[in-house]
Amino acid sequence: MKKIVTFGEMMLRLKPQENERIIQSNQFSALYGGAEANVAVSLSLLGDHAQFVSKFPDHAVGQAALGTLRRYGVDTSQVLLGGPRLGIYFFEKGASIRNTSVVYDRAGSSFAVSKAAEYDWAQILADADYFYFSGITPAISAELTQAILSACQFCVNHQIKVICDLNYRGKMWTPQQAQATMNQLMPYVDICLAHDEDFEASLGIKAFDGDMSHGIEQKDDFISGMKAIIAKYPNIKTVASVLRNIYSVEDSQWMALMIDHDQVFETPIYQIHVWEGVAAGDAFGAGLIHGLVKNYNPQDCLNFALAASVLKLTISGDLNLVNEKEILEVMNKQNGMRMMR
């Protein structure tokens, strides 16, 4: 079985009840999540060997986070223990014209203060087939940027595929900082995921005008941006993107594009009523990786990834708690509105 290693931070997620605002709520539900951890859980639920690499505090909260990963079958044998705390983020679910928002409290976490030298990539990646990281992790610290760089260099020397989701976060760094850092890492990447503002903020490549109400109509611009990534970094053979028309927090249309070895692929458009709009990009990435692991053809790989992504929009929390059969049913439009008995 092929092995996928993901590297990043898992955090405690605190969410007010229902659609309450943070400033009014006196109760918060507690869950755990984080981009690379979300991908690992999705892959494990799809039957793949997913290993998550990070650093957690060695106390009850850290153990609870570890327990979440283990509950869904993720390999946590390379999670380091120690340091002061687990990062936290507060998730405020939007409604109608009020956007969903996030407040980070992650400074000084065990992962954020960890050093590049703590991660023994020769041991961690010894039997890996894929290495996955997102742009969130190098945004945390220079040490973690160096850790990713070391991992990528090992991968290139040992024929391990590197997958990067640009995943730009404006609350964590500026476009100038992101571009300076990502330009160091992209020469090692084989497969790049780029959505919406990722192109310009992370790589300085124009592909999207910023208006989320008509992303799908900008398909040609996205394709041009994807081709520009491949031209700038010829080591990258595959670029995939999700395009969206967002009309409100609850209602939107989704489709996806991919360039794979110079061929362009696209999915049908899904009309979606969103329950919770978080981590759908992570679900997309996991779906794409699963398709690669299973040797799907490029079109099926992209269709599967988008079906996984839109299913995540119907599930609360960070984790895409669906299996391969459920994704295939959406992808092949077999389930419709039937009750599953």
**338 occurs within a structural domain:** no
**66 occurs within a structural domain:** yes
Q: Are 226 and 259 in contact (CB under 8 A)?
A: yes
Q: Are 52 and 79 in contact (CB under 8 A)?
A: yes
CA–CA separation, 197 vs 145, rounded Å?
A: 21
State residue 301's pLDDT score.
98
**312 occurs within a structural domain:** yes
Q: Are 40 and 49 in contact (CB under 8 A)?
A: no
**19 occurs within a structural domain:** yes
State residue 333's pLDDT score.
85
Beta bridge partners of 263: 260
CA–CA separation, 59 vs 47, rounded Å?
A: 30
State residue 337's pLDDT score.
44
Six-digit token pair at 189? 């990447």
State residue 19's pLDDT score.
86
User: Which is it for strands 28-33 and 49-53: parallel, antiparallel or unpaired?
Assistant: unpaired
**69 occurs within a structural domain:** yes
Dihedral through CA 132, CA 318, CA 275, CA 333, nearest 10? 40
Kind and range of the H or E element at 122? Answer: helix 121-124
CA angle 244, 250, 255 (to 5 degrees): 20
State residue 18's pLDDT score.
85
Query: pTM of the prediction?
Result: 0.96
Cα 66 to chain centroid distance, Å, stands at 19
User: Which is it for strands 80-81 and 55-56: parallel, antiparallel or unpaired?
Assistant: parallel
Six-digit token pair at 134? 């997102």
Per-residue pLDDT of the chain (341 residues; tens, 9 = 90+): 999 999 999 999 999 998 899 999 999 999 999 999 999 999 999 999 999 999 999 999 999 999 999 999 999 999 999 999 999 999 999 999 999 999 999 999 999 999 999 999 999 999 999 999 999 999 999 999 999 999 999 999 999 999 999 999 999 999 999 999 999 999 999 999 999 999 999 999 999 898 989 999 999 999 999 999 999 999 999 999 999 999 999 999 999 999 999 999 999 999 999 999 999 999 999 999 999 999 999 999 999 999 999 999 999 999 999 999 999 999 998 444 443 44
Task: Look up the CATH number of the domain holding residue 175.
Answer: 3.40.1190.20
**304 occurs within a structural domain:** yes
Number of independent structural domains in the chain: 1
CA–CA separation, 284 vs 276, rounded Å?
A: 15
Q: Are 75 and 50 in contact (CB under 8 A)?
A: yes
Q: Give the type of residue at 219.
A: K
**176 occurs within a structural domain:** yes
Question: Which residue range is the domain that position 93 belongs to?
Answer: 3-331
Question: How many of the other CB atoms lie within 10 Å of CB of 98?
Answer: 13
CA–CA separation, 183 vs 202, rounded Å?
A: 8
Kind and range of the H or E element at 292? Answer: helix 280-293
Q: Give the type of residue at 6.
A: T
**337 occurs within a structural domain:** no
Q: Are 65 and 29 in contact (CB under 8 A)?
A: no
CB proximity list for 195: less than 8 A, separation 6 or greater: 166, 241, 242, 281
